[in-house]
Structure 1
Amino acid sequence: MKNWIELLSEFKSKRQPVALVTVTKCSGSAPCVVSSRMIVTEDKTSYGTIGGGKLEYNAIDEAINALKENKIIESSYTLGPDFAQCCGGKVEFIIEPMNQSPELFLFGAGHIGTEIAKLLIDTPFKVTLIDSREHWLAEVNLDESIVKCQVKENDFKTFRDAVNWGKNCYVLVLTHNHLIDFDVVAMALENETKYLGLIGSKTKKARFNKMLISEMNIKDGMKNVTCPIGLPIGGDTPKEIAISVVAQLLQVHYQAIAQ
């Protein structure tokens, strides 16, 4: 195959999720060597080899699981009768999901929202800052890596379409209007997210919980919503609150990878 670094670069440019399988240890008679590599896509297409046969079939299946769960997997196999092999060798490998960066969709380009976006520069997060106030985002000066998205208050479909829903989707709700906050939270609960956070007090959480159950027929209410947001590190300035929120986002992201 092509140089595996070149292949990974091509997949990265296309934002196509792949898993990199790398042999980390071989002992006894084995059909591969340490550093043998294979790249696996979501449709089970593979590039390169770690020895073929049942070992490789199993590795491909585990690579698909690594992509689905977006976590690193370490595995090992003894090549005995179960593999129709009697060589008795052992192979260990690590599977790393690639190109599945967490994406944060941040509703509300106020003081705290913009500070969160700035603090997430040079982290794994891709950030989209969303606001419905006319001309508001044009006045916000941010790094070019942060996507600014204007939505329309009278067309809620634009809110839904602004988000790339899925297992790598993080949503933060910090708008200028409590009614918009509620609508965005209700919308997010009907779609797939990794994390959904709402700025506010325990009183706001209780109020939204009641409204979600009684008005939206969302039986779990606010059960799957983080509110208040941020780690309890202290401080109440916009930047200090933003630091606590970014710390929480990174904690959720890295804990998910390590599990």
Structure 2
Amino acid sequence: MDSIDLEVLKTSAAWIAAGHRCELVTVIRTWGSSPRPVGALLAICDDGRVVGSVSGGCIEDDLIDRVRREGITRQLPEIVSYGITADEAHRFGLPCGGTIELALEPLSAGSRIAELLERLEQHQLVERRLDLRTGAVRLDRAVAGNVLTRTDDELVTQHGPRWRLLIIGAGQLSRFVAQIATAMDYHVTVCDPREEYRAGWALPEVRLVHAMPDDLVIEMKLDRRSAVIALTHDPKLDDLALMEALKSDAFYVGAIGSRANNAKRRERLLEFDLTAAQLERLHGPIGLYIGSKMPSEIAISILAEMTAVKNGVPPALQVNHAAALEAPGTNACLAEFDSKIQLA
């Protein structure tokens, strides 16, 4: 399962290889409310086919209509804006009078999309520099954390896994988490020293590592764009890895298990050289309370909480499993069941 941006690039490369004319559309700036963030991608083919999104569908409709009426004739990149006037905001459905600025780039073999995809297959973080005057493209290694920049002469975009996720354990739940996280543009690594679990792994796009989890946590040099999730239920595998992860800069560290098992885990971790502040960073029972029962639902719950933390949502606005028991209007039996299903 590919992320949306990767799907756009792969489809663009296929259109170019098939001899079609096509354009890459990038959101480079927004004012007010906007349905899609800066950096969002869309590609449009000369036959009107489109992949990706830069709005809720209204701007896409306008782009498709123009291509069908006029074809793709643009030779050089062009910057266009939608929603500048109140009439346009209403016409294109931009909420609250929002305005969106787009870069429209005609693609060809010289656009280096195929080479970019080769680098992304190697899990590289790549900076793509587009000369807005000539259409020439340069690819460089990117630094994590850089954002899209645009000058009068150049558009610089970042491609590749902007975030890293380490999953400890290669069980069924890990497969669902890995699939969804990959689509969310995470570079996912699954670590499990147990051969019987690795033998059944069937996600070739996810890196599977045979190593002790705590050693791998140290080796990965986790930064603020990294997350760690422990899903084995085995303290011998989870605890030391969690200890190292909680001492790192990882933005999220979580472990599966019921409230009772989570309390025991915290007691064990306090016997290591962790501070109370470091232990406080541990999310467990893992995930937001959504009444989840199936592994696929638990995976959504986990990634919902991880996304909330990544996006800076205040803890007071998140309902985790422990809080669900006391939340007004929450079915306590359901909440208790939702917590118990995290048991081994």
Fold conserved between structures, TM > 0.5: yes
Q: What residue is the counterpart of 1:160 in the other structure?
A: 218
- Asked whether the 8 Å contact 2:164–2:227 carries over to 1, the reply is yes
In 1, the alpha carbon distance for the partners of 2:292 and 2:269 equals: 30
Q: What residue is the counterpart of 1:136 in the other structure?
A: 197
Is 1:182 the counterpart of 2:236? The answer is no
Give the 5 Å matches for 1:1-12: 3=131, 10-11=139-140
- Deviation for aligned residue 1:117: 0.8
Residue deviations 1:212-238 (CA, integer Å, cap 9, x gap): 233434333630111111111112221
In 1, the alpha carbon distance for the partners of 2:269 and 2:248 equals: 15
Identity between Structure 1 and Structure 2 (%): 23
2:206 to 146, 150, 161: 146
Higher RCO by CA contacts (8 Å cutoff, separation 6 or greater): 1
Is 1:21 the counterpart of 2:82? The answer is no
Give the 5 Å matches for 1:216-235: 216-220=273-277, 222-235=279-292
Unaligned runs of 5+ in 2: 1-128, 314-344
* Matching residue's letter, 2:148: L
* Matching residue's letter, 1:107: I
1:171 to 205, 208, 228: 228
In 2, the alpha carbon distance for the partners of 1:225 and 1:178 equals: 15
> CA, structure 1 residues 2+231, in 2 after alignment: closer, same or farther (shift >3 Å)?
closer
* Matching residue's letter, 2:249: E
1:113 to 174, 188, 192: 174
SS of 1:109 mapped into structure 2? coil
Residue deviations 1:43-80 (CA, integer Å, cap 9, x gap): xxxxxxxxxxxxxxxxxxxxxxxxxxxxxxxxxxxxxx
Residue deviations 1:101-133 (CA, integer Å, cap 9, x gap): 111000011111111112223212111111110
Q: CA RMSD in A?
A: 2.9
- Asked whether the 8 Å contact 2:217–2:245 carries over to 1, the reply is no
Q: What residue is the counterpart of 2:271 in the other structure?
A: 214
> CA, structure 1 residues 159+2, in 2 after alignment: closer, same or farther (shift >3 Å)?
closer
- Asked whether the 8 Å contact 2:165–2:186 carries over to 1, the reply is yes
Residue deviations 1:3-61 (CA, integer Å, cap 9, x gap): 26865x613xx3434443336xxxxxxxxxxx55575xxxxxxxxxxxxxxxxxxxxxx
> CA, structure 1 residues 254+36, in 2 after alignment: closer, same or farther (shift >3 Å)?
farther
SS of 1:208 mapped into structure 2? helix
> CA, structure 1 residues 19+243, in 2 after alignment: closer, same or farther (shift >3 Å)?
closer
In 1, the alpha carbon distance for the partners of 2:225 and 2:163 equals: 5
- Asked whether the 8 Å contact 2:169–2:230 carries over to 1, the reply is yes
SS of 2:185 mapped into structure 1? coil
In 1, the alpha carbon distance for the partners of 2:217 and 2:312 equals: 29
Is 1:236 the counterpart of 2:262? The answer is no
Q: What residue is the counterpart of 1:31 in the other structure?
A: none
In 2, the alpha carbon distance for the partners of 1:98 and 1:252 equals: 22
Q: What residue is the counterpart of 1:251 in the other structure?
A: 308
SS of 2:202 mapped into structure 1? coil
TM-score normalised over the length of structure 2: 0.46
Q: What residue is the counterpart of 2:121 in the other structure?
A: none
> CA, structure 1 residues 2+114, in 2 after alignment: closer, same or farther (shift >3 Å)?
closer
Give the 5 Å matches for 1:69-88: none
> CA, structure 1 residues 168+6, in 2 after alignment: closer, same or farther (shift >3 Å)?
farther
In 1, the alpha carbon distance for the partners of 2:154 and 2:280 equals: 42
